[in-house]
Amino acid sequence: MQQAIDSINQTYEIEQTNEAYNYRSHELLAQLSDQVDKFACSGGVWTQTTDVEGEVNGLLTYDRRVLRPDAEQWRADIQALYDAAARRGGSNATMAVATGQEQGLEQFGHCEEDFC
């Protein structure tokens, strides 16, 4: 794993702990929420759902054994996005966060209690 990390182009952020990962994801989602509030930003995409060779910022690790997101924090951050959209005149924005089972995470043999 360290060899993959060392070979990554510096355009990637690499968080060494889940706490740091969740702190940084919270900051990114808060920035998106701010953009929705101020500029009516209409969407965002989290592009790396799982780690792959040479890219280690996924929601799931390469071996699919560690699910990095703090479920409660992410739910709150995502709800903040829906709330910001509603304030900008979105049509009754409501939150619907899929569970791990709905997302198929059980196929990896690992599900956090909050996600499955």
Collapsed DSSP state (helix, strand, coil) of residue 42: coil
Taking residues 1-11, what's their average pLDDT? 63
- Domain contains 66: yes
* pTM reported for the whole predicted model: 0.65
Task: Tally the residues of the chain.
Answer: 116
Residue 100 lies inside a defined structural domain of this protein = yes
Give the pLDDT score at 12: 60
58, part of any domain = yes
Predicted pLDDT of residue 22: 93
Query: 54 is in which domain, residue-wise?
Result: 2-108
Task: Tell me if 48 is assigned to some domain.
Answer: yes
Domain membership of residue 77 (yes or no) is yes
Model confidence at 104: pLDDT above 50: no
| pLDDT reported for residue 1 | 63
Mean pLDDT within 99-110: 46
The answer to whether position 23 is within a domain reads: yes
**Does some domain include residue 113?**
no
Give pLDDT, residue 77: 95
> What's the pLDDT tens digit per position in 75-90?
999 999 999 998 888 6
**Total of domains in the chain:** 1
- CA 48 to each of CA 12, 37, 38, 73, 115: distance values in angstroms, whole numbers, following the listed order: 11, 25, 26, 18, 18
Q: 11 pLDDT band (50/70/90 cuts)?
A: low
Judged against a pLDDT cut of 80, whether residue 36 lies above it is answered with: yes
In a domain? residue 88: yes
6 or 72, which is more confident: 72
